[in-house]
Amino acid sequence: MRAVPACLLCALLLGGSAVHAANWFELDGPSAASDVAALEVDTDSLGAAGSNHAVTVRVTYPEPHPHPAGGLFRSVVATVEFACEGGLTGYRGATYYAGPRGSGSAVARQEGRLAPASNGTRDLLPPRSVELLIRASCSRPATAAP
């Protein structure tokens, strides 16, 4: 009798943040200017303290990418930290999935505060995606193209 509730609890805990996010909003999709198939934010997760922000993002890539720990991932769900005036500062945890939009098996998980963007985590979000995220979260108008 106890095995059923324990299995249910394990399934919920192993589900990852993609299961818990309820309100995904797509900021970017496939285009000639985009390196992602979809960039989505969980609108319920956006938090701010002054000019510092954090939001959960879900990134789907057009093709699978190799993860340094092994395996291929097609999407990632992570908490992104940034300052409206300073740009991307880093990530707080990320889960990499085999399928698009946080589906399929979890290929790898990184918990806790990840390295700042200058140390390699910038690869998680292409520069255009970072700019879209900051503009949307900080209500910053688009910059003119050179």
Residue 130 backbone dihedrals phi, psi, to 5 degrees: -60, -45
pLDDT digits (tens, 9 = 90+) for 41-78: 998 998 887 777 888 999 999 999 998 888 999 999 99
pLDDT for residue 77? 93
Write down all domains in the chain, each with its CATH number in brackets.
Answer: 13-138 (2.40.128)
Say how many Å lie between the first and final Cα of the chain, rounded: 66
More confident residue, 120 or 20: 20
Residue 69 backbone dihedrals phi, psi, to 5 degrees: -85, -5
pLDDT for residue 9? 28
pLDDT for residue 97? 96
Mean pLDDT of 89-108: 90
In sequence order, which ranges of the chain are alpha helices (DSSP H)? Answer: 3-14, 17-20, 127-138
CA distance 10 to 57: 24
Type of residue numbered 141:
P
46's CB contacts (< 8 A; 6+ apart) are: 53, 54, 55, 137
Lookup: tokens for 29: 């999709």
Say whether pLDDT at 85 is over 80: no
pTM: 0.71
Residue 82 backbone dihedrals phi, psi, to 5 degrees: -155, 160
DSSP assignment of 37-60, as one string?
Answer: SEEEEEGGG-EEETTEEEEEEEEE
